[in-house]
């Protein structure tokens, strides 16, 4: 259970009241007022502590206040903090080269396949860049899966499925065709020679960690190649080790045209990336797109520290081990119908659609997670989650589920 602190001058309730008067109400009231974090634990202004199984929605790959990220950001900001896009810096070039190596698209008849990155500040901006790149094919139609989430800017929102997000802002840009996620036959029927791109998540996060059937991405690759369309994979949530691989699509063995990244890439520092592979690497040319902060050397230094630490600390394997530990323990609960996902990206499907009640009770019990759908909990903790923390999480969450769904 959370433990209370004494003598703080302003309580969470007081800060929340000030929030209501000062911040636009786009999110509703904050659930807690957080003041610090360390590893997989965060503290609120009232002195309560929580095991963070959400990691800022899959952002804090190395947890909170990781020394490698703190050092990288501090050193870079103390050296060269921002240069605009009239110039480049060593961290920007090194990060682009590193991402190209991690994607490892192989070679085309002995020649290296070109890989080029456009840096942005977030996932929605990365998807916005990719959306614009699809227009440079001369086609306008994008085929997108139902249940998808690709961002809140107007372009990315046009490619996002949830009606509650979209409808207040329609008409939205783009010629979009919707298909059921995971249905390769529906994809075959939707794609023709007018389609610019097919956009898919390798695992849908906002939909509640939904995994497509085996072979789905390979079928999508074959279909898009047949019609000369791009295959664009949104790895904003799944990328950077979240599922136990650098990128979730790599399990399929396919070579893509466009990949978008963000969330875990900066370990809490805002950075996104739109990566073009092969011919897609040169779709956007000078003047086609831009950003003031994208490729900022501090953000790139943070991302390099994240990638270095994941590699040096063996966090890809740890994500798989900890994920299996969490999944096997929670799947044994009689009120859990199924646990979906891979690595440390899990969806806990409840037998009753009371995920919001479970999430609220779990927070009161000291666990941070969320309920993206009425019957699903989403668990995306830091990749540094320890065995003991995972055991505590499953014991506590199981007790909460039993109490709420009794």
pLDDT of 3: 43
Q: What is the pLDDT of residues 42-56, one digit of tens each?
A: 999 999 999 999 999
* Residues 97 and 233 reside in one and the same domain: yes
Task: Read off the pLDDT of each residue in 10-29 and give the average, rounded to a whole number.
Answer: 96
Cα separation, 247 vs 251, in Å, equals 8
Where residue 364 falls among pLDDT bands split at 50, 70, 90? Answer: very high
The answer on 323 and 262 residing in a single domain is: no
**b/e for 173-195, b at 16 or more Cβ within 10 A?**
ebebbebebbbbebbbebbeeeb
The answer to whether residue 5 sits within a structural domain is no
Burial class (CB in 10 A: 0-12, 13-18, 19+), 86: exposed
Q: Is the pLDDT of residue 206 over 80?
A: yes
Same domain? 224 vs 359: no
Q: How far is CA 74 from the centre of its chain?
A: 25
Instruction: Check whether 72 has a pLDDT greater than 90.
Output: yes
Write down which residue in 265, 289, 313 finishes a domain.
313
The predicted pLDDT at position 8 comes to 58
Between helix 90-103 and helix 297-312 the angle, nearest 10°, is: 40
Mean pLDDT score across all residues of the chain: 95
Average of per-residue pLDDT across 58-67? 98
Closest CA to 331 of 354, 349, 319, 352: 349
Give the pLDDT confidence score for residue 105 in this predicted structure. Answer: 75
Report whether pLDDT(111) > 80: no
Measured between its terminal Cα atoms, the distance across the chain in Å is: 20
Distance CA 323, CA 194 (A): 41
> What does the pLDDT look like over 228-254, one tens digit per residue?
999 999 999 999 999 999 999 999 999
**What is the helix, strand, coil percentage profile of the chain, to 5?**
40, 20, 40
Is 153 contained in some domain?
yes
- Does 2 map to a domain? no
Q: Please give the tally of structural domains in the chain.
A: 2
Last residue of one domain, picked from the residues 276, 293, 313: 313
Residue 200 is part of a domain; what is its CATH number? 3.40.640.10
Q: 191 pLDDT band (50/70/90 cuts)?
A: very high
Asked if pLDDT for residue 6 goes beyond 60, the answer is: no
What mean pLDDT comes out for the span 53-76? Answer: 98
Q: pLDDT band for position 382 (50/70/90)?
A: very high
Which amino acids are annotated as binding site for N(2)-acetyl-L-ornithine, given as ranges? 152, 291
Confidence category of residue 104, pLDDT binned at 50, 70, 90: confident
DSSP state of 368: E
Report percent pLDDT > 90 for the chain. 94
Q: How far apart are CA 207 and CA 238, in angstroms?
A: 13
Dist. CA 329–CA 197, nearest whole Å: 40
Confidence of residue 5 (pLDDT cuts 50, 70, 90): very low
Average pLDDT rounded to a whole number, residues 362-378: 98
Range of the domain at 273: 72-313
How far is it, in rounded angstroms, from Cα 290 to Cα 276?
A: 15
**Does position 22 have pLDDT exceeding 50, yes or no?**
yes
**What distance in Å separates the CA atoms of residue 236 and residue 250, rounded to the nearest whole number?**
14
One domain, residues 360 and 254? no
Query: Which residues line the annotated binding site for pyridoxal 5'-phosphate?
Result: 123-124, 149, 234-237, 292
Residues 238 and 365 in one domain: no
Q: Are residues 370 and 273 in the same domain?
A: no
pLDDT at 143 over 60: yes
Is 7 domain-assigned? no
Q: Among 288, 313, 338, identify where a domain stops.
A: 313
Residue 139 lies in a domain: yes
216 and 192, same structural domain?
A: yes
Q: Is the four-CA dihedral 234, 240, 244, 250 of positive or negative sign?
A: positive
Max CA-CA distance within the chain?
A: 69
Q: What is the pLDDT of residue 112?
A: 78
Res 9: pLDDT: 66
Residues 49 and 111 in one domain: no
Domain shared by 99 and 161, yes or no: yes
Share of the chain above pLDDT 70, in %: 96
The answer to whether residue 4 sits within a structural domain is no
Show binding-site residues.
123-124, 149, 152, 234-237, 291-292
Asked whether residue 179 falls in the same domain as residue 279, the answer is yes
- Domain membership of residue 6 (yes or no) is no
Question: What CATH number should be reported for the domain holding residue 358?
Answer: 3.90.1150.10
Averaged pLDDT, 346-350: 98
* Measured CA angle at 80 (ends 78, 83), to 5 deg: 150
Q: Are 237 and 230 in contact (CB under 8 A)?
A: no
Exposure string for 248-262, b = 16+ CB within 10 A, e = fewer? bbbebebbbbbbbbb
Name the E strands within 208-256.
230-234
The CA distance from 222 to 254, in Å, is 9
Tell me, yes or no, whether 308 and 320 share the same domain: no
Q: Which range (8-12, 28-32, 145-149) has the least confidence? A: 8-12
- Domain co-membership, 308 together with 331: no
298 is a domain residue: yes
DSSP string, 63-118: -BS-HHHHHHHHHHHTT-----TTS--HHHHHHHHHHHHHH---EETTEEPPEEEE
């Amino acid at each position: 259970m959370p433990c209370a602190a004494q003598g703080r001058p302003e309580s969470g309730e007081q800060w929340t009241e000030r929030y209501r008067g000062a911040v636009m109400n786009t999110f509703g009231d904050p659930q807690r007022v957080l003041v610090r974090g360390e590893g997989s634990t965060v503290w609120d202004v009232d002195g309560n502590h929580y095991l963070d199984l959400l990691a800022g929605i899959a952002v804090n790959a190395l947890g909170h206040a990781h020394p490698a990220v703190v050092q990288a950001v501090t050193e870079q900001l103390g050296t060269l903090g921002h240069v605009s896009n009239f110039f480049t810096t060593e961290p920007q070039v090194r990060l682009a080269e590193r991402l190209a190596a991690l994607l490892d698209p192989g070679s085309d008849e002995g020649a290296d396949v070109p890989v080029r990155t456009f840096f942005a500040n977030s996932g929605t901006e990365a998807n916005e860049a990719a959306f614009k790149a699809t227009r440079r094919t001369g086609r306008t139609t994008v085929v997108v899966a139902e249940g998808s989430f690709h961002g809140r800017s107007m372009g990315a929102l046009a490619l996002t499925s949830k009606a509650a997000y979209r409808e207040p802002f329609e008409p939205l840009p783009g010629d979009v065709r919707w298909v059921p996620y995971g249905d390769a036959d529906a994809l075959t029927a939707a794609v023709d020679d007018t389609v610019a791109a097919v956009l898919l998540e390798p695992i849908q996060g906002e939909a509640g960690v939904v995994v497509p059937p085996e072979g789905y991405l390979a079928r999508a690759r074959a279909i898009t190649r047949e019609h000369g369309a791009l295959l664009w994979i949104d790895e904003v949530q799944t990328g950077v080790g979240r599922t136990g691989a650098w990128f979730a699509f790599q399990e399929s063995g396919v070579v893509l045209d466009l990949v978008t990244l963000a969330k875990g890439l900066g370990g809490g520092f805002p950075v996104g990336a739109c990566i073009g592979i092969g011919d897609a690497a040169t779709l956007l040319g000078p003047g086609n797109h831009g950003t003031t902060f994208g490729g900022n050397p501090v953000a790139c230094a943070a991302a390099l520290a994240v990638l270095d630490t994941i590699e040096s600390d063996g966090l890809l394997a740890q994500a798989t081990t900890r994920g299996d530990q969490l999944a096997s323990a929670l799947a044994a609960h009689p009120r859990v119908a199924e646990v979906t996902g891979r690595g440390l990206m899990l969806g806990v499907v409840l037998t009753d659609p009371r995920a919001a009640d479970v999430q609220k009770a779990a927070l009161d019990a000291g666990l941070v997670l969320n309920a993206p759908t009425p019957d699903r909990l989403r668990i995306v903790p830091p990749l540094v989650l320890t065995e003991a923390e995972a055991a505590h999480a499953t014991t506590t969450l199981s007790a909460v589920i039993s109490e709420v769904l009794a």
